[in-house]
Amino acid sequence: MPISAWHIEGMVMDILFKVLIDPFLQMGAMPDLFVQTIWDGFVTGVLYALIALGFVLIFKASGVFNFAQGIMVVFAALTLVGLYEMGLPAPLAVLVTLGVMFVLAVAIERVVLRPLVNQPDIILFMATFGITYFLIGLGELIFGGNPKQMITDQLYLPRGAIEVKMLGGFVQFQKIDIAAAVIAVVMIVALAVFFQKTRIGRALRAVADSHKAALSVGISLNQIWVIVWFTAGIVALVTGIMWGARSDVSFGLQVIALKALPVLILGGFTSVPGAIVGGLIIGIGEKLGEFYWGPLVGGGIESWLAYCIALGFLLFRPQGLFGDKIIERI
């Protein structure tokens, strides 16, 4: 017996070591790699944040949990590229795409939201599924199903990478990633301003609180919905460009929409800063996890790690990082 006892104990120690200590040793051993991973995570996080942002905008203003945000990203990117391929100059293509997104917003408001006003959330949620399916079909019908190259250069987005020598190694920063980060920040700031300063923005915030309040500001709900969905559309477009620039434009992209869910959970459905912080946490968390712990279980844990992080988190703070505490009344 002692032998096997030894044996088991050995195994346990081994596992504990692999899980609890070894990863950190690795980090310490190659800080440059560590930073690299963090950076990668950060960028992914930014993109998650952007999608989450789309969700939050819509959820805040219309209480709709817009599952279609992901496909909107894809759709926007596809349209852009598609238009370009049809021979429009890039800047024009961007404008037209914006136009398309606007039309989309209007259409959704008319066809989906207005008839379904005052329906339970789950129904609206389902409706956005409908939208998703519709857009998938439409996108593929028009632009075909196969992946496309994002027109990075034509949009004057930088290529290549900067290699910074640090921590006894090289850390590589893709210019596009930096750009992405910068643009994301710019956009978030812009949105913040839009919400704080402009009349419409205030109205939107009002809607978030109560619909009556919004009306008192003198903007009809329908207008607000259009605006919000359009804004979400813009966010989607930017996200699409960024993401497309890093990999390529395909329907596989829509899966990242699902990734935005745990982000939302961390950040809370109604909080813009929450979305961002959440995005970063998830992004970095899952990259680190994949890189350092993934191998232990054969990798690929990226696919669910995010959710489990979120789940664990939920159990302690059901209302999310920035969400406000729910007091149930009866």
> How many residues bind to another protein according to rule CB under 8 A?
50
| Residue 318 interacting with another protein (CB under 8 A) | yes
Q: Please report whether residue 119 would count as binding another protein according to CB under 8 A.
A: yes
Instruction: For the chain, give the longest Cα–Cα distance.
Output: 81
Of 60, 59, 62, whose CA–CA distance to 223 is shortest?
62
* Sole binder of another protein in the list 167, 169, 307, 321 (CB under 8 A): 307
- Answer whether 42's CB lies under 8 Å from 283's CB: yes
What does the block give as tokens for 157? Answer: 């987005």
Q: Binding to another protein by residue 106, rule CB under 8 A?
A: no
- Distance (Å, rounded) from C-alpha 299 to C-alpha 316? 28
For another protein, the binding residue among 33, 136, 215, 321 (CB under 8 A) is 136
Query: What is the distance between the alpha carbons of residues 201 and 85, in angstroms, rounded to a whole number?
Result: 36
Asked if 170 touches another protein (CB under 8 A), the answer is no
> Is 140 one of the binding residues for another protein (CB under 8 A)?
yes
Residue 212 CB, nearest approach to another protein (Å): 19
Task: Using CB under 8 A, pick the residue from 3, 4, 141, 212 that binds another protein.
Answer: 141
32's tokens: 């440059």
User: Any contact of residue 146 with another protein (CB under 8 A)?
Assistant: no
Q: CB of residue 327 vs another protein: minimum separation in angstroms? A: 5
3-state secondary structure of 161: strand
314 lies in the binding site for another protein (CB under 8 A): yes
Count other C-beta atoms under 10 Å from residue 98's C-beta: 17
Stretch that binds another protein, among 12-20, 131-139, 181-189, 228-236 (CB under 8 A): 131-139
Question: If you write DSSP's letter for every residue of 238-249 in order, what string do you get?
Answer: HHHHHHHHHS-B
Bridge partners of 166? 169
Alpha helix stretches (DSSP H) within the chain: 2-16, 22-29, 31-62, 69-85, 90-107, 121-143, 175-197, 199-209, 211-217, 221-246, 254-267, 272-288, 302-316
The smaller minimum CB distance to another protein, of residues 74 and 171, is found at: 74
Phi and psi (nearest 5°) for 152?
-60, -55
Residue 52 CB, nearest distance to another protein (Å)? 12
Confirm or reject binding of residue 315 to another protein (CB under 8 A): yes
Do 42 and 237 form a contact (C-beta atoms < 8 A)?
A: no
Q: How far is the CB of 282 from another protein (least distance, A)?
A: 12
Residues that bind another protein (CB under 8 A): 65, 111-112, 115-116, 119-123, 125-127, 129-138, 140-141, 145, 255, 258, 261-262, 264-265, 269, 297-298, 300-301, 303-304, 307-308, 310-311, 314-315, 318, 325, 327-328, 330
